[in-house]
Amino acid sequence: MEQSDLLEQLRIDRGPARPPRRRRGLLAVVAVAVLVALVGLWLGWSRLRPPVVQTTVARAAAPGAAGSVLDASGYVTARLQATVSAKITGKVTEVLIEEGMKVRAGDVLARLDDTEARASLALAQAQLVAARSQLAEIQAQLEQAERDYVRQKGLYDRQLVSPQSLDAAVAQRDMLRARLASAHEQVKVAQESVRVAQVQLDNCVIRAPFSGVVVSKAAQPGEMISPISAGGGFTRTGIGTIVDMDSLEIQVDVNESYINRVRPGQPVEATLNAYPDWKIPGEVIAIIPTADRSKATVKVRIAIKVRDPRIVPDMGVRVGFLEPKTPGAAAAPPAGVLVAPGAVQPEGGEAGSVFVVTGASTVERRRVTLGPDVAGQKRVLTGLEAGERVVVSPPPALADGQRVRVADR
């Protein structure tokens, strides 16, 4: 045996000891068990955590409210709206309005540079003073000529002066009478010049034509403004837009195939897209007697019976045309409450169920009796009271008595 082989046999192995195979298997089992336990804890915590739900409040339906016979969409419009401009072309020196500001008829909205207008007024006033002075002078001369004529006439009657002297007195008197008439006309012309100059000066002040709310501001100090468009985008044609909020109404397009269901005076229930839980009563004003050939629709005007600052022009709105009450008909049964369509789970026929949120942040499943829809809302006749909060579009796994978290509204 070689010496190197002997030395190799005598060398001590200092490397780490390999764990037994049984010990490695035990560690793997423990790791898998811990992982399974963690997954189970996470699943259990997820199931125990209350789900987040959206809710809505049931509101009382109007007594005797009829179901919707037709739904349509449209916009809030202003019957009285104006973009206020100047009557003359000029440079804006001051703008006194801002969006949302309330103004009264006659309030000053803006001012234009009035330097030239004031100079024209001063010149016209000076010309009026001169015309009046000339009138007074001619008046005095005429009075003297009248006295001279009377004197010359007396002397002529006594044959103390020649006919030529009397003729000269008559001519002087008649000439001054003509000049006096002309002076009166000159005074009138000067007065009209003053009036025109005053109007031009007044036109440098832009006033509100009616009471309302400023919805847009279109000009700034230093810009040119004109009653007509000058082109090029360097001249404004308006200071701002004013809307009379008392003239707001709703205009909707109704398919011409269903226009026979609409008539003037018909009750309407409107819902703004911005406030889906708020029902606004209205009434059909008129059916515009023309159709849109491209859309096959007829425009309908609807009066809004309530005034509220939340209603603003150009808001999207959905309306339900209601069946009017028949005169002499029996009193309608209790109208129940109205909720969003997604809050009711139909169960066939007039039966359904809702999840009501209780004070303990738990849900209670209730069976309800349904009535005819009103303007896209579900009407619940029994099983639910006005003011109770119900879950909208509940999760499929939601159960009676389960705790929930109400989403922030």
- pLDDT greater than 90 at residue 317: yes
Q: What b/e string do you get for 4-34 counting C-beta neighbours within 10 Å, with b at 16 or more?
A: eeeeeeeeeeeeeeeeeeeeeeeeeeeeeee
φ, ψ for residue 398, nearest 5 deg: -65, 135
Report the pLDDT averaged over residues 176-193: 94
Q: Class for domain 88-112+204-243, per CATH?
A: mainly beta
pLDDT at 46: 46
Widest pairwise Cα distance in the chain:
193
DSSP assignment of 277-295: EEEEEEEEEEEEEEEETTT
Instruction: Please list the helix, strand and coil fractions of the chain in percent, rounded to the nearest 5, in that order.
Output: 30, 35, 35
Residue 4, Cα to own-chain centre: how many angstroms? 103
Mean pLDDT of 297-325: 90
Whether 331 shows a pLDDT value over 60: the answer reads no
d(CA 22, CA 94): 94
pLDDT at 88 over 70: yes
Per-residue confidence (pLDDT) for residue 45, from 0 to 100: 47
- Domain residue spans in the chain? 52-64+333-406, 68-79+246-322, 88-112+204-243, 115-202
Reported as type and span, the H/E element at residue 327 is none
**Average pLDDT along the chain:** 84
Q: How many residues does the chain have?
A: 409
Write down the architecture of domain 52-64+333-406 according to CATH: Beta Barrel (2.40)
Question: How many CB atoms within 10 Å of residue 246?
Answer: 12
> What CATH number is given for 68-79+246-322 in this structure?
2.40.30.170
| Confidence at 25, pLDDT banded by 50, 70, 90 | low
300, β-bridge pairs: 252, 287
| pLDDT confidence band for 52 (50 / 70 / 90) | confident
Residue 108 has pLDDT above 80, yes or no: yes
Helices (H), 248-405: none
